[in-house]
Structure 1
Amino acid sequence: MAELQPISAALEALLADVSLVGTESVPLEAAAGRVLAEAVTAQLDVPPFDNSAMDGYALRASDAGKWLPISQRIAAGSPAAPLAEGSCARIFTGGEIPPGADCVVMQERVEVADNQALMPTDIPSGDNIRLQGRDVRRGQPLLAAGERLEAAALGHLAGQGVTVVSVRRRPRVALLSTGDEIIDPGTPLKPGQLYNSNRPMLKRLLETFGAEVVQLVSVPDDFDQTVALLTNAAADADVVVSTGGVSVGEEDHVKAALESLGQLDMWKLAIRPGKPLALGRLPREDGSEARFVGLPGNPVSGFVGAWLFLRPLMGALLGCSALNALPTLTASANFTTQTGPRQHYMRVALRFSEAGIIADAFEDQNSGVLSSCISVDALAVIDPHQQVEKGTLVRCLWLQR
């Protein structure tokens, strides 16, 4: 029997010699979730001018405690005139600080009568002013290549007036489902058949990881057809993902088809769930290769395998380090378990308490129980041959979308 391979070796084989996908330019409003292809340098100060942090009155701090005439009114978006000596300016949040003023006092602290304002005595210079360039200075790095463009990063770019951004194109993925017994929803089930739960689950996960699923293919239990469909998938995709067909059954043709076409890098991992997982490469006519990830057919194995292998693979293709490794938390186990020779990835829900983080394991950890993945927060990583009691500290991979 072949020795089971460790997860670290599988990841090393999977990510070896990965080349970045190409780039494309997209409108900023369509760039959410995309990965920045080039570093961006700030072209503007943010904010671009000193402005008021609140509604109130702009003045010289040396005039604190005095009645001052209100010499101008400054709304956000309106230019400010120099502040007359011995006066104050009515100003609103975001309004430009007039030249000569060095502080703003909130309106609730000011008494107003006959276009005069009585200032409080304790107003420090610089109070309630957002200085030009406080957030960003022109010429400084704004965002690095590889940044995933989520809400704040998009706002950062918009604040520079950016309308078009250079991003990595989405890795193209062909998703193959094997097995004559697996059919699509909408077709009446015959005896021995199952609906394909892996396809929509993995498609959504792949899209969450930044991929574009370009093929959804059902593969019959036939070696020649499996070879033909793998060949076609490799020609169209950067990554070919299959579910099922990588074990040792007589109708499991994917591993043999992969070996006949290209290269099997890794098979049979020391992991639970997901031992019969295959990693390899499929050649194309132009001499390049498509990566191949053969996930087991059990849906939980596919779910766990997607997080452990497909997510970092997408990160490597996109040059996005945020996708390379899941955040790690240490939690107190609220369960007991005993592992065998394989590393166990247990589905857990996390509770954050004053005493620390508590991991509650789903009662049924069988690889066919997909319901355990619906409300899962993390995968508790239990090393081989370990006894875990309640209160044992365990390492958890936080499944951040």
Structure 2
Amino acid sequence: MSASWLSLESALDKALSAAHTVTECETVSLFSANNRIVATDIVATLDVPPWDNSAMDGYAVNTAGLSTSSPLEVQGTITAGMAADTPLSTNRAFKIMTGAPVPPNADAVVMVENTEQRENKVIIKSLPTSGENIRLKANDISAGEVLIAKGTRLNAEHLMLLSSQGLDKVSVYRKLKVGVVATGSELAQPGDNRSSTQIFESNRVGVCAILGNENLDIVDFGIVEDDKDSLQQLFESAIGQVDIMVSSGGVSVGDADYVKEIINRLGGVDFWKVAIKPGKPFALGYLQQSDAQKNSQRTLFCGLPGNPVSSFVTAKLLVVPVIRKMQGQVNVSAPLTMNATLTHPIKRRARRRDFQRATMHKMADGGYEVTPFKTQSSGVMTSITSANCFMILHEDVSQLDAGDTVPVMPFTL
């Protein structure tokens, strides 16, 4: 590995260090809060459950002096949403439904399967212990405890929890604004006519789909030709308009690759080149401007490679974690990986971490097998559409045999 190339971990550390969390907040309905980041600790105001309640359908009894030989008179029926009018009397039982409040003087619930009802009496066939089948008040949540910590990304279960506390709104960090642009004179807009030397641009729609899953606002800057003046004008217009500018193409070493030069002129490039394959020419930097009337404005810059697979891989591995950090999410974690058994031997030059497109499937014993594609070109997008995982070959791995264990990163679970 070249000394000027960063490892994936170093590149990600630098990128996350450069990603500053937004500070502005807004209050939104729970119905609009899915995938948003909580801006403050949310504290419980109610005990859950609010009272001792039955864990199942059965009969509420007092275990003192209870026997299997003496039928108990059924004092009444308690359903969910109601309470007993009177405390449980001696030698009696309340018929009770799951979730209903346990009546005073009862200390256990006998499941209906362990009883036999005769007219208005019930026979207990299996004696319960005190507390059996009773969910105690505040057993789940106690008023005053932190329900959801600041920096948590809300999902369905969080929203259900908040709703159960009587909340209908939540304070979250504002949405990020992310600009997306493709650079290159060889690119044509899909749906338009193209010249004989052009190809249809495909990176923007893929990057927008990947980033759109993070619940943010995307500004599409379209396609810009390899022209210094046009590129500079574009990046100047992005400063302050978006929090992050994501560009694909123009960050390699070609004669018309002007993006890094312009980013350095308008701000700075923190690093360029990461020891991964595909995706080596990834760049991270910033755009900044100041004037007498405005405070200094700064926009983070992520430069993706132009090859479609490289753009796809670096967007997932490097841009998505940066976005999550800037959104205010705490504990931004690496993508999930798991182990699988390799089906074919591999020989390669050990230098970069290789994210090979592959298919994995579950075996009869519960483990997984993985088979990499023969074609791993960063320009072949069908290697992504036909795959269901990345097979990860680390920097020091030059040879693997069939049957070896390798880490894989599933596309979906």
TM-score (norm 2): 0.90
On the 8 A contact 1:344/1:384 being kept in 2, the answer is no
Asked whether the equivalents of residues 240 and 297 of structure 2 are also in contact (C-alpha less than 8 Å), the reply is no
2:407 to 387, 395, 399: 395
Q: Are the aligned partners of 1:40 and 1:144 in contact in 2 as well (CA < 8 Å)? A: yes
CA deviation after TM superposition for structure 1 residue 290, in Å: 1.0
Displacement of 1:282 in angstroms is 0.5
Q: Of 283, 287, 291, which residue of structure 1 is paired with 2:296?
A: 287
What displacement does 1:105 show? 1.9
Q: What is the alpha-carbon distance in structure 1 between the residues aligned to residue 144 and residue 18 of structure 2?
A: 34
Q: Extract unaligned runs of 5+ from structure 1.
A: none
Match of residue 26 from structure 1: 28
Q: Tell me the CA shift for residue 398 of structure 1.
A: 4.7
For residues 1-400 of structure 1, the aligned pairs below 5 Å read 3-22=4-23, 23-62=25-64, 63-65=66-68, 66-81=70-85, 82-285=87-290, 286-335=295-344, 336-353=346-363, 354=365, 356-374=367-385, 375-384=387-396, 386-399=398-411
CA shift at 1:159, angstroms? 1.8
After alignment, is 335-344 or 253-262 more displaced?
335-344
Deviates more, 1:190-199 or 1:287-296: 190-199
Amino acid at match of 1:10: A
Once residues 16 and 52 of structure 1 are traced to their aligned partners in structure 2, the CA distance between those partners, rounded to angstroms, is 51
Q: Which amino acid aligns with 2:76?
A: Q
Which segment is superposed worse, 217-226 or 389-398?
389-398
Is 85-94 or 367-376 further displaced after alignment?
A: 367-376
Q: Which amino acid aligns with 1:169?
A: R
Partner SS, residue 38 of structure 1: coil
Distance 1:319 1:359, change over 3 A: farther
Cα distance per residue 1:130-178 (max 9 Å; x no partner): 2211211222221111111112222221221221111122221100111
Q: 2:219 & 2:116 partners in 1: Cα distance?
A: 67
- Unaligned segments of structure 2, at least 5 residues: none
**Matched residue SS, 1:61:** coil
After superposition, the Cα gap between the structure-2 partners of 1:361 and 1:241, relative to the gap in structure 1 and judged at 3 Å, is same
Structure 2 counterpart of 1:358, which letter?
A: E
Q: Which secondary structure state, in structure 1, belongs to the residue aligned with residue 239 of structure 2?
A: helix
Most deviating of 107-116 and 324-333: 324-333
CA distance in 2, matches of 1:137, 1:349: 47
| SS at structure 1 position matched to 2:14 | helix
> Which amino acid in structure 2 is aligned with residue 68 of structure 1?
L
Please say if residues 372 and 391 of structure 2, whose CA atoms lie closer than 8 Å, have aligned partners that are also in contact: no
Please identify, of 300-309 and 341-350, the stretch whose mean Cα deviation from structure 2 is larger.
341-350
Q: Which amino acid aligns with 1:126?
A: G
Aligned partner of 2:192: which letter?
Answer: T
Q: For the residues of structure 2 that align with 1:259 and 1:64, how far apart are their CA atoms?
A: 85
Shift, 1:347, TM fit:
2.4
Cα distance in 2 for partners of 1:64, 1:156 equals: 41
Identify if the C-alpha distance between structure 1 residues 59 and 158 changes in structure 2 by more than 3 Å, giving closer, same or farther.
same
Kept in 1, the 8 Å contact 2:266–2:289? The answer is: no
- Does structure 1 conserve the Cα–Cα contact (< 8 Å) formed by 2:355 and 2:390? no
In 2: Cα distance, 1:228 partner to 1:76 partner: 66
Residue type of the alignment partner of 1:383: E
* Cα deviation, residue 389, structure 1: 2.1
Query: Could you tell me how far 1:394 is from its partner in structure 2?
Result: 2.6
Question: Partner letter of residue 10 of structure 2?
Answer: A
Taking a change above 3 Å as real, the CA distance of residues 362 and 151 of structure 1, as seen in their structure-2 partners, is farther
| CA 162–360 in structure 1, closer or farther in 2 if over 3 Å, else same | farther
What amino acid is aligned across from residue 213 of structure 2 in structure 1?
A: T
Q: What letter matches 1:172 in structure 2?
A: K
- Report the Cα distance in structure 1 between the residues aligned to 2:169 and 2:341, rounded to whole angstroms: 46
| Backbone CA RMSD of aligned residues | 2.2
- Identical residues among aligned pairs (%): 36
Change (3 A) 1:390 1:355: farther
Cα distance change of structure 1 residues 140 and 217 upon mapping to structure 2, 3 Å threshold: same
